[in-house]
Amino acid sequence: MYIAQFDGKSLPSRIIKKINWTDPKHPTSHSAFYFPKCPVNTCWEACWKPFKRGKKVGWFPSLSTNHTEGTRVDLYRLVPELTPFEMNSLLMWLDREDGKRYDWRGCLYFITRPAKIEGDKDWFCSEAIFSAFLSIGRRLLNNIPPHKVSPTVLLYPTSLQYEKTIYTE
């Protein structure tokens, strides 16, 4: 299992990178879980696509789904890796969240920086990943609530180690 960090090319991705103080070496606009050892290389993500209908949060057939061809994706591994029990618990949490809406208000938060804007049943991409780890007792960062974890902030934990870069097809 990897944490996938996308260097998106779309206008919303470029805005997110600009306002989130993205590291120039690893520009990040979007986060997802990536499971390359599943029967199909599956991806679980909260994905916002304006003006398109359909599932916004959940399982997708690949990292390339809903992303521009040639998008850079940096893959990070959790160290230490999840135990089988933690992995099973994580997958159950992801299944429960499947089909929820993308939290566009959470995205707005990173532009306006108000005290708190979050939906009860919506997920911002990095917020969902951080919350999934919290649900199994793995706190990646201390003293920060999930709704304040941007894709860039998600890279701060020392327990995430860069593995490799791939590109969407």
pLDDT reported for residue 89: 94
Q: What is the pLDDT of residue 49?
A: 43
Q: Are strands 122-123 and 101-102 parallel, antiparallel or unpaired?
A: parallel
Q: For 125-140, what is each residue's pLDDT tens digit?
A: 888 899 999 999 999 9
pLDDT of residue 132: 92
Q: What range does the domain containing 48 cover?
A: 2-167
43 φ/ψ angles, rounded to the nearest 5 degrees: -140, 135
Tens of pLDDT, residues 1-10:
899 988 877 7
pLDDT digits (tens, 9 = 90+) for 41-96: 566 665 544 434 445 778 887 788 878 889 889 999 999 999 999 999 998 998 88
Reduced to 3 states (helix: H, G, I; strand: E, B; else coil), residue 68 is: coil
In this prediction, residues 22-33 reach a mean pLDDT of: 76
Q: Say what the alpha-carbon torsion angle 70, 72, 78, 82 is, to the nearest 10 degrees.
A: -20
List, in sequence order, every residue forming a beta bridge with 166; answer none if it has no partner.
73
Tell me the C-alpha distance between 73 and 64, whole Å: 10
Tally the domains of the chain. 1
15 vs 73, residue with greater confidence: 73
Question: What average pLDDT does the segment 24-53 reach?
Answer: 65
Phi-psi region of 120 (alpha: psi -120 to 50; beta: other; left: phi over 0): alpha
Distance, in Å, from the CA atom of 126 to the CA atom of 144, rounded to the nearest integer, reads 13
* Distance of alpha carbon 30 from the chain centroid: 6
Does the global pTM surpass 0.85?
Answer: no
Question: Residue 155's domain is classified under what CATH number?
Answer: 3.90.1720.10
- pLDDT for 111 equals 56
Averaged confidence pLDDT in the chain: 78
Task: Give every CB contact of residue 84 below 8 A, 6+ residues apart in sequence.
Answer: none
For the CA atoms of 87, 93, 98, 101, the dihedral, rounded to the nearest 10 degrees, stands at -130
**% of the chain beyond a pLDDT of 90:** 25
